[in-house]
Chains A and B, each alone.
Chain A
Amino acid sequence: MTELLVPIVVATLAAGTPLVFAALGELVAEKSGVLNLGVEGMMLVGAIAAFAATVASGSAWVGVLAGMLAGAAMSFVFAVLALTLQANQVAAGLALSLFGLGLSAFAGKPLESVALQAPQAVPVPLLSEIPLLGPMLFSHQPLVYLSWLMAVLVSLFLYRSRAGLVLRAVGESPASATAIGYPAIAIRYLATLFGGAMAGIAGAFLSIVYTPMWVEGMTAGRGWIALALVVFATWRPARVLAGAYLFGGVTMLQFFAQGAGVAVASQLLSSLPYLATIVVLVLISRNPHTIRLNAPVSLGKPYHPDA
């Protein structure tokens, strides 16, 4: 049993990691009141940028950096449209997703037949030698550890730091924040760029670690799931983590089920992780009180500092 458990847990955590990055980034952006529906597009552009950079340089870390910058650049386009030019955030975000899909497919054409060697997992010294828990939790890709670190940092930032307090204040009422003297638009820019960078890392993880190759549209809707995660996790980082691993877990289970020859169409099985994640999260986020307390009040509303 335990021989099977370790690979399942390891695979689950790996499958959930892109969602952790993308959803944490979107969470910060949304907490500042910016609804960026372009996560899927930012992930894809991050994925192809990371893949190309890794192929060119031979270093996965250069790839991750490239993915991060590419994601941030995409979100900058969104920020100019939605924050400076006051475009509708929903429309601008959808456009960004479509743009990212097309751009990454175009840029990735020459790289479709290239294969990469996945980087080696890095076991944490000492901790990875703990029986059972060691191989399950402490023998991962460096980016998996980074995702945990980011979850902790985002939590501390939002709920323990002054800057996080200001960010939440801007997300609730940019007008009031401006009246007290905070630069609401600049803060929203930073939050949006952070969201883009995190989506870029999520894409990089997919294309150079999870399945080390480039396939057009390889995010397969994970950007949309990340968006849903943020809402159903009622904007709380711990719940984002739980939701991401739930998705990862069901992804792995349906692989095992397919491997075991369960007599259900594989397309149906592949849709299970999406379905299960949303159903479970809807069920746990039914309490309207927690939603009212945690949802950024001015989410998605354009703000004109002069009005």
Chain B
Amino acid sequence: MGAESPAPRLALRGIRKAYPAVVANDGIDLAVLPGEIHAVLGENGAGKSTLMKIIYGVARPDAGEIRWEGRRIEVPSPQAARALGIGMVFQHFSLFETLTVAENVALALPGERDLAALARRIEEVSARYGLPLDPRRLVHSLSVGERQRVEIVRCLLLEPRLLIMDEPTSVLTPQAVRRLFETLRQLAAEGCSILYISHKLDEIQALCHAATVLRAGRVTGTCDPRRETASSMARMMIGKDLPVCEHAEARTSGEARLVLDGLCLPAQDPFGTELQDIRLRVHAGEIVGVAGVSGNGQQELLRALSGEVTLGRAEAVKLAGVAAGRLHPGRRRRMGLGFVPEERLGRGAVPTMTLSENTLLTAHRAAGMVRGGLVQRARLRAFALEAIGRFAVMCGGPEAEARSLSGGNLQKFIVGRELLQAPRMLVVSQPTWGLDVGASAFIRQALIDLRNAGAAILVISEELDELFEICDRIAVMAKGRLSPAARTRDTSVEEIGVWMSGLWPGAAPDAGEAARAPAP
């Protein structure tokens, strides 16, 4: 990409933004050409989101200049950005669940009063770009992929000349990712520039024409991703080589520790999913993964496993051979079940309590923490110190409040707390969600080590790469049903992707529709 060729649609120079605790952007230069798909690559906390907020007018830069088609501009607000022709698809969707698709779109289009006419325009645009949508549906009944389509269509109706996509594929099935890429390529071919924020190297190589790499708020390089290797870009992104997990050969001879036998659970709330006839065996010494787009029953499955919801039939959940379906979480933990929920603050840990107090939440049965009804503070402290030391948790010590830790460090601490109790069975949900590469690799390795020590582990995750890296077998959850578990080395990302839409061999016929959070 020559610098003199057409004038860049968007050019940033020397952008700086400091927050009280951290300099999020420091001297960022970035140029996006018309019709170019430009990747902004970086780890969590590298400053990608702040930079996009500045471009979209949500945050103001402390220094630096923004040029739009050669003209120097200020972007005081999102409306101003939209008026210029900048659209943004957020990572955490900015949709309203209790409103319809058309109402959601109308909110972003000032002066749009006729909802019926708008619905027709939505249908036109969605047909033109291969983004099927029904404007009359309520958003809460849509799958994550469909919600993203709403966001994209909403942007497209403004006829943007620059579209910002913030981590758009983190919630999509592989097939949906491919379809999204086709849409983006079509848009780019029509002259729209696209800023594509991601930390997924393979996607950037497949899609983008240029890339700007950020690390700790600074640009560490620009490149043509089609000419780079994944490892050369990773070095720019994290400053060292990608860590790799060691994965020993699976031992499937162990006893079936965690058995789900025809687990059924009616939907607990109107937007929830009904679990239907879930069958799964997790043996000692293996990791079984549950893939699937969230909202297909994973939350419900977790609650049924942990004991937060008890079941009518005790035999539906067997822990180490004992029927446990009617037991409460405490009883299940005593049988050797460990549990790491996806929400770290609020469910995995109490935000305002110290780390040593947080150990008490699940480890109070461990040796000597409570004697004669009184908490033994010294024991708590020792346990917390051990978790901090063994799992390399960066924190202010055992008396630091849980909420003061970064997401990755808190997750390490919570995983450490569970692992130090030497669970015989462990259920983990989204173990590395929102973590950087280093912390993710550490946690994956810890899970593999626990497996090698003979525990039965169930991992629920949306990250297919992660499941393929650590699991011995993978099953897929779609519309409240669970597929059979396939051996990881006998299956492929493609096959699991097909299963994610409910189409696995022997699936019930009505499960065949595209996987979405089922309407209540």
Contact = CB atoms under 8 A, between A and B. Distances in A.
A109 B94 CA distance: 52
Main SS class of interface, A: helix
Interface string B80-107: 0010000000100111111100010011
Interface string B244-278: 00000000000000000000000001110000000
Nearest to B94: A176
A175 B96 CA distance: 10
B442 to A, nearest CB: 29
A153 to B, nearest CB: 18
B215 to A, nearest CB: 26
Nearest to A168: B99
B78 A181 contact: yes
Interface string A169-196: 1001101110111100000000000000
Given A162-B106, A292-B269, A292-B271, A179 B96 contact: no
Given A165-B107, A169-B107, A181-B82, A176 B95 contact: yes
Contacts of B82: 181
Interface string A80-112: 000000000000000000000000000000000
A294 to B, nearest CB: 7
B480 to A, nearest CB: 18
Contacts of B157: none
Of B103, B107, B269, the most chain A CB neighbours within 10 A belong to B107
Given A165-B107, A292-B269, A179 B97 contact: no
Contacts of A294: 98
B270 A292 contact: yes
Contacts of B138: 293
B270 A165 contact: no
Given A162-B106, A181-B78, A176 B96 contact: yes
B21 to A, nearest CB: 14
Contact of A173 (B96, B106, B108, B270): B96
A163 to B, nearest CB: 11
B77 interface: yes
Given A180-B78, A292-B270, A165 B106 contact: yes
Given A162-B106, A162-B113, A179 B98 contact: no
Contact of A169 (B90, B99, B270): B99
Given A181-B82, A288-B270, A293 B94 contact: no
Contacts of B106: 162, 165
Nearest to B95: A176
A180 B99 contact: no
Contacts of A182: 107
A162 B111 CA distance: 9
Given A173-B96, A293-B98, A297-B97, A181 B103 contact: no
A231 to B, nearest CB: 16
A166 interface: yes
A92 to B, nearest CB: 22
A293 B96 CA distance: 11
Contacts of A173: 94, 96
Interface size class of B (residues with CB under 8 A): 20 to 34
Contact of B58 (A168, A179, A288, A289): A179
Nearest to B80: A181
A260 to B, nearest CB: 46
Interface string B104-148: 001110001100000000000000000000000010000000000
A297 B99 CA distance: 12
B520 interface: yes
B79 interface: yes
B77 A181 contact: yes
A294 B138 CA distance: 12
Nearest to A161: B113
Of B79, B98, B112, B271, the most chain A CB neighbours within 10 A belong to B98
Interface in B366-407: none
A141 B112 CA distance: 40
Nearest to B90: A179
A169 B99 CA distance: 8
A177 to B, nearest CB: 8
A115 B220 CA distance: 81
B99 A165 contact: yes
Interface in A136-172: 162, 165-166, 168-169, 172
A294 B108 CA distance: 21
Nearest to B93: A176
A179 B78 contact: yes
A173 B92 CA distance: 12
Given A165-B103, A172-B99, A179 B269 contact: no
Contact of B108 (A168, A180, A292): A180
A181 B99 contact: no
Contact of A168 (B78, B90, B94, B98): B98
A239 B74 CA distance: 48
A293 to B, nearest CB: 6
A179 to B, nearest CB: 4
Nearest to A292: B270
Contacts of B58: 179
Contacts of A176: 93-96
Nearest to A288: B270
A177 B95 CA distance: 9
Nearest to A173: B96
A293 B138 CA distance: 10
A173 B107 CA distance: 13
Given A165-B99, A169-B99, A169-B107, A179 B94 contact: yes
A175 B138 CA distance: 19
A175 B77 CA distance: 14
B78 to A, nearest CB: 4
A169 B113 contact: no
A165 B108 CA distance: 11
Contact of B98 (A162, A172, A288): A172
Interface of A: 162, 165-166, 168-169, 172-173, 175-177, 179-182, 288-289, 292-294, 297
8 contacts: A165-B99, A172-B98, A175-B94, A179-B94, A180-B78, A181-B79, A292-B271, A293-B98
Given A172-B98, A180-B94, A182-B107, 16 more contacts: A162-B112, A165-B103, A168-B99, A172-B99, A173-B94, A175-B94, A176-B93, A176-B95, A179-B90, A288-B269, A289-B520, A292-B98, A292-B269, A292-B270, A293-B138, A294-B98
* A-B CB proximity, top 5 nearest: A176-B94, A289-B270, A181-B79, A181-B78, A179-B94
